[in-house]
Amino acid sequence: QSALTQPRSVSGSPGQSVTISCTGTSSDVGGYNYVSWYQQHPGKAPKLIIYDVTKRPSGVPDRFSGSKSGYTASLTISGLQAEDEADYYCCSYAGSLSRVFGGGTKLTVL
């Protein structure tokens, strides 16, 4: 199972919006609506910010939103804030009870 493809890095200024893509195949992203996104600050465990493609856990600001089209899922962060600077990972169900993660995207807030 190959890792999902994410851009290595993205950047934006405070208040702007950024979108992070996550591309897979028909066997994972394209085949199921079980894409989740995680935010990870240095030295910390990942934190769930989106699940089931578009749903936000309680406590996650509505500045974070998810979507999917075909084999590509996307995470959009609007109204960028300094504390959003982190690594972001997508994850998809990949059949036979397995999961696959993306390689990660480093978000820099300029």
Partner 1 sequence: QVQLVQSGAEVKKPGASVKVSCKASGYTLTYFYMHWVRQAPGQGPEWMGMINPSGGSSTYAQKFQGRVTMTRDTSTSTVYMDLSSLRSEDTAVYYCARDGTGIAVAGKLDYWGQGTLVTVSS
Binding site for partner 1 (CB under 8 A): 1, 3, 32, 34-36, 38, 45-48, 51-52, 57, 89, 91-93, 96-104
CB nearer partner 1, residue 3 or residue 110: 3
DSSP track, 13-31: -TT--EEEEEE--TTTTTT
Which residue's CB is nearer to partner 1, number 32 or number 65? 32
Q: How far is the CB of 48 from partner 1 (least distance, A)?
A: 5
In angstroms, the CA 110 to CA 105 distance is 15
CB of 85 to partner 1, least distance (A): 17
Nearer to partner 1, 77 or 100 (CB): 100
Beta bridge partners of 88: 39, 105
Minimum distance from residue 53 beta carbon to partner 1 (Å): 9
SS3 category, 59: coil
DSSP letter, residue 35: E
